[in-house]
Amino acid sequence: MKNMENIEFFLWIGFLSVICLWGIEICAQEKSASATANVTVTIVNPIRIEKKSDLIFGDIIGGKGKGAVRVEAENSILLRGAVSLGPSNGKSVSAAKFLVTGSPHATYTIVVPPSLILTRQVDPKF
């Protein structure tokens, strides 16, 4: 009987403890916190490329065999092999020109192929 009373006593203590703890809000920290930080951003201008002039080879006359034509940045023309200038004598030659803009001090890479192969297409009028 004594054991039964002890068990009942501990059950009541446990029950009352749960009810008491239920109504108590236990917090290890404050309910809210705040902090301040500075924010810095740099808006970068994207690269922009605008064509200013086309690449114009002028009149080129192909001969028997292979030849090469190169237009320099200062609008001069170099001929090698079996090619020669046509009636315009290179007066209509123009290097392609582009205006490239973007953020100052930014690094951009522009890749131009080292060579370009053109295939002659015969004009049926001639």
Domain hosting 91: range is 48-101
Q: Which alpha helices (DSSP H) does 26-126 contain, by range?
A: none
- Residue 87, in any domain of the structure: yes
The structure tokens listed for 113 are: 């192929």
Contacts of 18 (CB under 8 A, 6+ apart): none
In a domain? residue 39: no
Rounded average pLDDT over 77-100: 84
Mean pLDDT for 30-34 is 78
- Let me know if residue 94 belongs to a domain: yes
Full-model pTM: 0.50
Task: Determine the pLDDT at residue 52.
Answer: 93
Is 108 among the domain residues?
Answer: no
Greatest CA span in the chain, whole angstroms? Answer: 129
Q: Is residue 83 in a domain?
A: yes
Kindly state whether residue 53 falls inside one of the protein's structural domains.
Answer: yes
Tokens representing 19?
């009810």
Is residue 124 in a domain?
no
- Total domains in the chain come to 1
pLDDT at 82 over 70: yes
